[in-house]
């Protein structure tokens, strides 16, 4: 079959290459969420039960650093693909590194645990941002067909997120933790194999651009210098820690990383506003991005507790017995992606029907935060019944996940599009990088907040999260109209 014939093959009305990327992302998300459903449970489980025996504070800090690292490394992962190897190769290399990381986690040793986490972070940083770029390259004409293609791709993400905790969770919690990690690795191997076999359907999508090929020698030098600096910093930090001149804990590293992200974001927004040579209108739009950056970080700091504090709540305080059999706690992690699969078409239809009456971006962000807060209000209410050690119905978590899902469907789809819409043209790429840093900050905060689960009464902990998230949403809703008047346009 000729290359043209292969490139013209269709898959349910879309380019045949979409199926390759759909299943690549499905298996990658299967591995990521399957392992994530086990991660904090494994870390906090006693050594006698096959876990690591970490305290909740330490385990939550590691969880936060891990999930934040996935988003932080999306920035250099995108740069490496753009300048050095192209998106196609970045996805392949990333998938192989992810699989290696999961199989390394399957080795029952402390060194292999941390090595495996680092490998998964690096691999996901290469794969995650670049597979989406290739999807876009399949639709050079753009338009509604491209949007529909991303919707199909999005369903693959959530199907993998739904299946991963069911398979890996059962194997890890009921048989052996390391078997669960191995299953995540096997899933990623399936993804890599079908990616290689289906690569012929991608055509030229994701290949390194000709202009990048010409600049590659200089880019390699920059990469080598950057990598050398990172290795040197890590080596010096490790030496100082071993010699006793530095006393770092995972909690202090997590807090310091959060402070660094906040300081870097503040410095960048200040630089763009004061030294970016922008007119007044552009400056106002950048200020709106800064506000949305804060709102996004707050949202993800609550939402991403699904894998930490809410996972511990499922394990320790939820009655999971069905017909005499106790379901794994990690299975409750599949509720959120199931709701997304069911509700995403509904929300998409609602936004389309509203057309010109679609709510402005700050209103959607505000609604997302308020619904996230309502979910935590439900959980705070349910946790009040556990104070004497009683187990509660899984419906408390189910209803919480329902509100978190509706909140996500209000906020998440407009996040990236708001950056591309509001950013000054020459700062779009950098603003996108800062936006990912906001998501990383939210994940980091989610881990730190989860560390308080043993030191604060649960109704107080979840109630505080409810107050912060819902309160921030209400502020955004109240500010929406004044902000639009200030800018002079509907956002």
Please report the pLDDT score of residue 391 as a whole number.
Answer: 95
Helix (H, G, I), strand (E, B) or coil at 45: coil
Please report the pLDDT score of residue 491 as a whole number.
Answer: 67
Strands 321-322 and 325-326: antiparallel
Exposed/middle/buried for residue 284 (C-beta within 10 Å: 0-12, 13-18, 19+): middle
Measured torsion, CA atoms of residues 85, 90, 92, 93, in degrees rounded to the nearest 10: 90
Please report the pLDDT score of residue 433 as a whole number.
Answer: 82
With a pLDDT cut of 90, the percent of the chain lying above it is 64
pLDDT confidence tier of residue 8, bands split at 50, 70 and 90: low
Residue 441 has which token pair? Answer: 């900050």
Dump pLDDT digits (tens) for 269-324.
999 999 888 888 889 889 989 999 999 999 999 999 999 999 999 999 999 999 99
The structure tokens 């880019």 sit at: 219
Dump pLDDT digits (tens) for 175-214.
999 999 999 999 999 999 999 999 999 988 888 887 777 8
Looking at the predicted structure, is the pLDDT value of residue 36 above 90? Answer: yes
Looking at the predicted structure, is the pLDDT value of residue 158 above 90? Answer: yes
Q: Which string of DSSP letters, residue by residue, matches 60-95?
A: HHHHHHHHHHHHHTHHHHHHHIIIIIHHHHHHHHHH
Please report the pLDDT score of residue 302 as a whole number.
Answer: 95
Q: Cα–Cα distance between 127 and 89 in angstroms, integer?
A: 9
Please report the pLDDT score of residue 161 as a whole number.
Answer: 96
Q: Cα–Cα distance between 446 and 60 in angstroms, integer?
A: 8
* Sign of the CA dihedral running 141, 356, 350, 284: positive
Dump pLDDT digits (tens) for 215-246.
888 888 999 999 999 999 989 988 898 888 88
Please report the pLDDT score of residue 150 as a whole number.
Answer: 83
pLDDT confidence tier of residue 460, bands split at 50, 70 and 90: very high
Confirm if 423 and 284 have CB atoms less than 8 A apart: no
Shortest CA distance to 459 belongs to which of 355, 375, 347, 382? 382
* Sign of the CA dihedral running 199, 201, 203, 206: negative
**Model-level pTM greater than 0.85?**
yes
Helix axes 395-422, 335-354, angle to 10 degrees: 50
Instruction: Please name the residue ranges forming H helices in 244-279.
Output: 250-275
Mean pLDDT of the chain: 90
Dump pLDDT digits (tens) for 393-419.
999 999 999 999 999 999 887 877 788
- 3-state helix/strand/coil string of 358-400: CCCHHHHHHHHHHHHHHHHHHHHHHHHHHCCCCCECCHHHHHH
With a pLDDT cut of 70, the percent of the chain lying above it is 97
Enumerate domains of the chain plus CATH numbers.
1-214 (1.20.1250.20), 249-491 (1.20.1250.20)
Tell me phi and psi for residue 85, to 5 degrees: -125, -5
């Amino acid at each position: 079959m000729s290359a043209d014939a292969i490139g013209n093959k269709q898959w349910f009305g879309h380019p045949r290459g979409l199926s390759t990327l759909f299943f690549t992302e499905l298996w990658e998300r299967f591995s990521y969420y399957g392992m994530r459903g086990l991660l904090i449970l494994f870390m906090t489980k006693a050594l006698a039960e096959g876990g690591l025996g970490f305290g909740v504070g330490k385990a939550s800090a590691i969880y936060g650093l891990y999930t934040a690292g996935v988003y932080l490394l999306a920035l250099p992962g995108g740069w490496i693909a753009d300048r050095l190897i192209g998106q196609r190769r970045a996805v392949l290399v990333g998938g192989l590194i992810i699989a290696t990381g999961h199989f390394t986690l399957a080795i029952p040793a402390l060194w292999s645990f941390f090595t495996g986490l680092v490998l998964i972070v690096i691999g996901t940083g290469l794969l995650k941002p670049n597979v989406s770029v290739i999807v876009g390259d399949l639709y050079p004409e753009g338009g509604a067909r491209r949007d529909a293609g991303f919707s199909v791709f999005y369903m693959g993400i959530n199907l993998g997120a739904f299946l991963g905790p069911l398979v890996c969770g059962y194997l890890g919690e009921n048989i052996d933790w390391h078997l669960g990690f191995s299953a995540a690795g096997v899933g990623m191997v399936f993804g890599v194999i079908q990616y290689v076999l289906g690569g012929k359907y991608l055509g030229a999508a994701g290949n390194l651009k000709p202009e990048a090929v010409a600049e590659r020698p200089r880019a390699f030098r920059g990469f080598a210098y950057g990598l050398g600096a990172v290795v040197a910093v890590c080596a010096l930090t490790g030496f100082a820690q071993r010699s006793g001149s530095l006393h770092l804990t995972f909690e202090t590293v997590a807090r310091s990383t959060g402070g660094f992200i906040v300081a870097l974001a503040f410095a960048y927004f200040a630089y763009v506003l004061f030294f970016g040579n922008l007119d007044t209108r552009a400056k106002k739009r950048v200020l709106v991005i800064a506000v949305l950056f804060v709102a996004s970080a707050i949202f993800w700091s609550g939402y991403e507790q699904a894998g930490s504090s809410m996972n511990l709540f499922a394990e320790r305080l939820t009655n999971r017995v069905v017909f005499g059999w106790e379901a794994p706690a990690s299975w409750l992690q599949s509720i959120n992606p199931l709701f997304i699969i069911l509700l995403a078409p509904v929300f998409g239809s609602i936004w389309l029907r509203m057309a010109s009456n679609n709510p402005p971006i700050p209103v959607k962000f505000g609604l997302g935060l308020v619904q996230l807060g309502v979910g935590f209000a439900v959980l705070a209410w349910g946790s009040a019944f556990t104070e004497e050690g009683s187990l509660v119905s899984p419906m408390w978590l189910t209803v919480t996940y329902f509100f978190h899902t509706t909140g996500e469907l209000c906020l998440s789809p407009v996040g990236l599009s708001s950056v591309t819409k509001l950013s000054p043209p020459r700062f779009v790429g950098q603003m996108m990088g800062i936006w990912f840093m906001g998501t990383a900050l939210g994940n980091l905060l989610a881990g730190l907040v989860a560390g308080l689960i043993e030191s604060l009464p649960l109704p107080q902990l979840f109630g505080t999260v409810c107050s912060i998230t819902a309160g921030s949403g209400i502020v955004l809703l109240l500010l929406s109209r004044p902000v639009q008047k200030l800018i002079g346009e509907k956002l």
